[in-house]
């Protein structure tokens, strides 16, 4: 089991949740592939999208529904600073995860986060569990609570 997956499981357990991540096939790098593998609606996939704060230099997390895209202008407004593309090194240093498996919990360092209200329309959503092949089911409100993300409008 990878260190990243172990960190996510530990974060879920420490939050009082008994959740076992699901291992998906090798072709689950897109939200649609993950939704197909999980047998759920595309928007039940909680994508973790990381931007770089241009003033702070820190990674900023946007947890968005699988079918939505982050609007750069709206995201900058809710983050309170201009945002740019986060490179793999920043993502790895801030979160401890590699691109393609960034989880909304279990980060190495505290991270500011924002949550797409579309995800709250479902009873269960699925988020990356630290690897490109693992996801975990969770109530969206619990994910908001344990991730520390704020509900915000930042999608196209």
Give residue-wise pLDDT tens across range 113-155: 999 999 999 999 999 999 999 999 999 999 999 999 999 999 9
Task: State pLDDT tens for residues 35-91.
Answer: 999 999 999 999 999 999 999 999 999 999 999 999 999 999 999 999 999 999 999
CA distance 90 to 97: 10
| H helices present in 58-103, as ranges | 72-79, 88-95
Report the distance separating Cα 136 and Cα 8, nearest Å: 9
Q: Which domains does the chain have, with CATH numbers?
A: 3-151 (3.90.960.10)
* Separation between Cα atoms, residue 32 and residue 54, nearest integer Å: 30
Q: Per residue in 80-119, pLDDT tens?
A: 999 999 999 999 999 999 988 999 999 999 999 999 999 9
């Amino acid at each position: 089991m990878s260190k990243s997956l172990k960190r996510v499981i530990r974060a879920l357990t420490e939050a009082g949740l008994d959740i076992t991540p699901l291992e998906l096939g090798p072709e689950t790098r897109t939200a649609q592939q993950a939704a197909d593998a999980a047998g759920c609606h595309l928007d039940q996939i909680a994508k973790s999208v990381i931007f770089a704060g241009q003033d702070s230099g820190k990674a900023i997390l946007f947890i968005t529904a699988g079918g939505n895209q982050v609007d750069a202008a709206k995201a900058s407004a809710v983050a309170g600073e201009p945002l740019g593309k986060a490179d793999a090194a920043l993502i790895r240093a801030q979160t401890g995860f590699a691109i393609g498996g960034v989880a909304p919990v279990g980060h190495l360092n505290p991270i500011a986060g924002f949550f797409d209200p579309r995800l709250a329309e479902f009873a269960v959503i699925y988020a990356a569990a630290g690897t490109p092949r693992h996801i975990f089911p969770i109530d969206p409100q619990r994910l908001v609570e344990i991730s520390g993300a704020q509900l915000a409008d930042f999608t196209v």
